Structure 1
Amino acid sequence: MGGVGFSVYGFKDKYTDSILFLKIYHDVRSSGAGGHIFLDFVEYTGHIPIQLTTDKGSEVGWLYAFMSVLQSVYAPDIDPSVYPFHVLIKSIHNTVIEGFWRRFKEKTGLNLKDFLLHGKEQHLFNPHDAMHEPLFYWVFAPLIQQALDDFIDWWNHHRVRHQHDKIMPSGHVPAHALDYPELFGALDCRIAIPPEAVAELRSQLDEEGPASKYQTFPGLTPEFNIYATEIYERMGAPTVTLAGAWDIFVEMAREIALDQAE
């Protein structure tokens, strides 16, 4: 949409069908971005899996290295020749996450896309106005992330369709299976990772750049955040919802234009 938009990266548990992590980012393709995203996931959950399965994207180089190091240190008894710590497959074969993306789009993604495109179709967003890009992210990034968080909550607590011939659980609630795997004939195989290990690995990414290099949306500087907050409060700090977000965007853009004209 005129050069702005969001990328989504997620991690999903195959056995329980639980969504473990689902976040919006500016960059999900470069190697450095992938390294920081993986560490965000480990920091958020406090664990790594015995095996991580991804496609062969450009972002997975550091994921492979970090999985190797963390498993060798915190689960040295696991033989990687028996249980590979990272499996790389073509995206069309990565059915766990690819199938999930289809469900996500059907449930939430298409509505979010249509909602964001409304601003372009109605000419509310002007890609040639330098202030519109950071304002777009200031208004919409928190809303989109909240929509993802709501979807995670729904998904992890909905009942999965029963499949008679499925070896792994079916007809269950994902969060229940994740919290009580023994009730489903399984073990909790997550490998606990301390926060200091995540911090140490982040330091290894210095050559790639800090997380902010990949995760800060264009133009959304600390200075702009302060300025946009002042504009928002000047308007009376109206509640921001998806339904009214474009109205708030237009009003804030108008206030910014008036400031610039003075």
Structure 2
Amino acid sequence: MPTHRVNRYLHQSFHSRFKLFKTVREIMLLNDPDGFDIRNPSRKPVVRCKGHLTGAGVFQEIHCDGHEKISSKALQIGAVGIVIYGMKCHSSGLIVAEQVVPNSQCEHTIAHRYLDMVEAYGEIPLQLTVDGGNETGQMCACHIALRQIYTPDLPFDQVPAFVALKSSDNVPIESSWSNMRDYNGRDLKTAILLTKDSDKQYFNPMDPLHVNLFNWVWPKIAQKSVLEFKEYWNHHRPRRQHDKILPSGEFPIKVFKFPDNYGLKHCASAKPGCWEVVQHLRGTLDKTKEECFRWVSDEFDVQAQVVYEELGSPELKIVSGWSVFCSMLAILKDMD
């Protein structure tokens, strides 16, 4: 190709690309005027202003998050692990729901947990606050649908239904996980990891029977531990913080049940017929509640329950988890 044609082609290519860049820049400036300054490499980081939490009342805002400190990645003993999903009332500090789940990354599982909470309280919070994971999509859709049905007079631009924050900014529920670790969370994890000791090794991650039995025994123990912490937290008196704006030094359950005594309102909306709407929303999800919360197959569940009852239904506790596991394992092996 002659040199003058090459030069002309490069000249035209440069101008066409320059026009494209200019168009993209104009569109970006139109939609996000501050974006360029925010992404400037030489820009100094903005110091985040920290202040006191404020709130108008109970069920105005519910914080949701998953706790993965005993997940399969954390335990590293194969594919087994336990994840906890919790919900906490912003203004009262009450833990409204906490449950172990097989998969906290499944959006249908999280949606069912939200609908369980609505069923349990018979009320709908105004706002859900999460840390922005993909698993909250279906929960968001269910909550927006309930808001549209029962609070149509509250516009979303004034009273948002769903807010996604950075995990570090979702303070109430994040602090709850550290409190749980101090109460019994570390004991639970330590007990499970006893199988890593060279002189114990109760669990073989390559054996399907071991995996099924782990998923039958330990989630039950974990759920019991979670409920013990929930009961303790909701009925304990935290230390008084004199500079705190929200109620301080009071039992969370007391603030939740009697918000008027603490200058708060009851912001939830409770309507007759809510149960039917919840069941309809469950029907729109691709997975049923039973599928989402199934740890083992129905066949193994029945088999393990029979063996457990043969042993006299020993109490499932953190300190006796592996003892029950080994006793059941010996019988299940003989049944194969």
TM-score > 0.5 by shorter chain: yes
Listed as ranges, the gaps of 5+ residues in structure 2 are 1-76
Residues 94 and 125 of structure 1: CA distance in aligned 2, closer, same or farther (over 3 Å): same
Which residue of structure 1 lines up, in the alignment, with residue 281 of structure 2? 201
CA deviations 1:52-86 (Å, max 9, x no partner) are 11111011111221121111111222222211111
Q: For 1:167-246, list aligned pairs within 5 A.
A: 167-192=245-270, 194-205=274-285, 208-217=286-295, 220-246=296-322
What is the total number of aligned residue pairs between the two structures? 256
For residues 1-262 of structure 1, what are the structure 2 equivalents within 5 Å? 1-121=77-197, 122-192=200-270, 194-205=274-285, 208-217=286-295, 220-260=296-336
Task: State the Cα RMSD in Å.
Answer: 1.5
- CA deviations over 1:68-113 (Å, ceiling 9, x no partner): 1111111222222211111111111111111221221122211111
Tell me which amino acid in the other structure corresponds to 1:77.
Answer: D
The residue number in structure 1 matching 2:54 is none
Structure 1 residue 40, shift from structure 2 partner: 2.0
Which range moved further: 63-72 or 8-17? 63-72
* Contact 2:220 2:316 (C-alpha < 8 Å) held by counterparts: no
SS of 1:202 mapped into structure 2 = helix
CA distance in 1, matches of 2:159, 2:78: 45
> How many Å separate the matches in 2 of 1:79 and 1:212?
35
Aligned equivalents of 2:261, 2:239: Cα separation in 1: 18
TM-score (normalizing by structure 2): 0.73
- SS of 1:171's equivalent? coil
Whether the 8 Å CA contact 2:108–2:287 is kept in 1: the answer is yes
**TM-fit CA distance, 1:32:** 2.1
Letter in 1 for 2:255: A
Local SS of the residue matching 2:319: coil
C-alpha distance in 2, partners of 1:9/1:239?
A: 24
Distance, in Å, in 2 between the alignment partners of 1:11 and 1:59 is: 14
Gaps of 5+ in 1: none
- Radius of gyration: which is bigger? 2
Instruction: Quote the Cα distance in structure 2 between the aligned partners of 1:181 and 1:51.
Output: 18
Task: Give 1:124 shift.
Answer: 0.2
- Residues 241, 204 of structure 1: CA spacing in aligned structure 2 closer, same or farther, 3 A cutoff? same
CA distance in 2, matches of 1:168, 1:141: 35
User: Cα distance, 1:119 vs. partner?
Assistant: 2.7
Preserved contact between residue 89 and residue 96 of structure 2 (Cα < 8 Å): yes
Using the TM superposition, give the Cα deviation of residue 117 of structure 1 relative to its aligned residue in structure 2, in angstroms.
1.1
Percent identity for Structure 1 against Structure 2: 33
The one-letter code sitting in structure 1 at the alignment partner of 2:236 is: H
* Offset, 1:196: 0.9
| CA distance in 1: counterparts of 2:312 and 2:140, whole angstroms | 48
How far the C-alpha of 1:30 sits from its partner, in A, is 2.4
Q: AA paired with 1:180?
A: F
Q: Which letter maps to 1:203?
A: G
Determine the C-alpha separation between the residues in 1 that align with 2:87 and 2:95. Answer: 6
Paired amino acid for 2:276: E
